Amino acid sequence: MEGETPEPAAPATFLRGEEGASPESARARFERMIRRVQANVCAELEAVEGGTSNNGGGGGALFREDAWTRPGGGGGISRVLQGGRVFEKAAVNVSVVYGVMPPGAYRAARPEVAAAAAAGGEKAGPVPFFAAGISSVIHPVNPFAPTVHFNYRYFETEAPKDAPGAPRQWWFGGGTDLTPSYIIEEDVKHFHSVQKQVCDNYDPSFYPRFKKWCDDYFYIKHRGERRGVGGIFFDDLNDYDQETLLRFATDCADSVLPAYIPIIERRKDTLFTEEHKAWQQLRRGRYVEFNLVYDRGTTFGLKTGGRIESILVSLPLTARWEYDHKPEVGSEEWKLLDTCINPREWI
């Protein structure tokens, strides 16, 4: 696909022509939602960063913004804060892109659907698509303050160019998950309770279903452990009407700050040692392994020729690998690892 073009400032909308004809379309409303959430999250993180921290130095860091467009359609806004007193690195990105995706990208976006089509003898061809989403990863400085990740996205695909006539398909995906270096039950239970409350407002089956999906998705197969303590995750969601799922995705995105900021406020000034920091770096190594090997969003971005700085911005500034490292049984580090191997029900 075409490379991106840097822009001096983000346009009011990345939709154009037919794409932006209706301000009340799902595409237009989703774009407005993700850009509002991006602004709110960045403002809140800068407010936290501007406070005092016992374990850092220098002034509070601010977000850098890069806007870009694609010749084929759409663009995005990347906002990144790094080297702060509270946050080592925080990225909050939005993108709204459309055009035609190659077969490999479609297989990355919808592996089950693509596999079923291939099994039926269908030949893969270029697929017209629309994809919009917000994606964020926040890595704090303090080892007792957990990393959080959230991503909410909306996809549409048309019939392949060489097989016209099939109906348009649409679906939502996303989730919010927590990755601590140390288990602090008060924090994990608060985080999960916020996810459950949002889910229960729509369907009481959502939380247990999406919580298990999250535990299964963020599984590092070659390690036999999860990336963190989970949250919610869903993909290819279209089993409710579009309006309901748009509101659900919006409420999920709006729940990130109340789920996460109270935890950060409690933990950002906790005293820590070099040993605590070394364990945090080892766990961030696991974060890197999952994102580069298994994450569908990373795979999709790489296969569609996406903006590489935006795709890899989820990686922490620093990480660590030690040969055959095993925490002492019964230690706080071991408790975290045991939880990642054996997921728990938190509420």
**Rounded Cα distance, 104 and 111, in Å:** 10
Residue where the block lists tokens 């197969």: 221
Among this protein's residues, is 190 annotated catalytic? Answer: no
**Catalytic residue from among 139, 149, 190, 276:** 149
Tokens for 320, please give them: 């660590």
The catalytic residue positions are 149
